[in-house]
């Protein structure tokens, strides 16, 4: 069973609340960014980093799901989310590698840009993929197993 921390009730709980009012949560970050964009007309960027397998894609999906739920045009945000998910297998086909920490380490990064109108409603978006490294290590470490490819 999944933890009940990403439910529609949690979205409502974090919606339009003060950032420090509730416990830390990805919905609090998404709400703060969305409020600043919508109410103060400030461009926003949420940087999601971590090691392979840390949940970066899941965190991106949660941010987009939150925005989709609180704005009036959630279908557009969900479309960008689906494009993100569909791009993963395509990129992985271009060359992941086995490393000490991960059997399937990606060499790609993603920049997702969702554009909003003056009312805070999404009007479009694009996902740009970046090659983070052109080559992998050509010699194995003593402890390393497998092959870079």
Residue 85 φ/ψ, nearest 5 degrees: -65, -40
User: Which of 13-17, 51-55, 74-78, 91-95 reaches the highest mean pLDDT?
Assistant: 13-17
Tell me the residue ranges of DSSP E strands in 43-148: 108-116, 122-131
pLDDT number for residue 130:
78
Whether residue 132 is predicted with pLDDT greater than 80 in this model: the reply is no
Bigger pLDDT: 51 vs 17: 17
Whether residue 35 is predicted with pLDDT greater than 90 in this model: the reply is yes
Structure tokens at 13: 């709980």
- What is the value of pTM for the model shown? 0.73
Tell me the residue ranges of DSSP E strands in 1-140: 108-116, 122-131
């Amino acid at each position: 069973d999944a933890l009940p921390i990403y439910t529609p009730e949690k979205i409502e709980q974090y919606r339009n609340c003060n950032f420090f009012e509730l416990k830390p949560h990805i919905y609090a970050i998404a709400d703060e960014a969305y409020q600043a964009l919508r109410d103060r007309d400030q461009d926003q960027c949420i940087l999601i980093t971590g090691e392979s397998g840390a949940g970066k894609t899941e965190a991106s999906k949660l941010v987009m799901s939150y925005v989709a739920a609180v704005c009036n045009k959630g279908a557009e945000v969900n479309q960008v989310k689906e494009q993100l998910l569909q791009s993963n297998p395509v990129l992985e086909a271009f060359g992941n590698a086995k490393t000490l920490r991960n059997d399937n380490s990606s060499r790609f990064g993603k920049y997702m840009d969702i554009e909003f109108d003056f009312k805070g409603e999404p009007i479009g978006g694009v996902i740009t993929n970046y090659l983070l490294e052109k080559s992998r290590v050509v010699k194995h470490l003593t402890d390393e197993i497998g092959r870079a490819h």
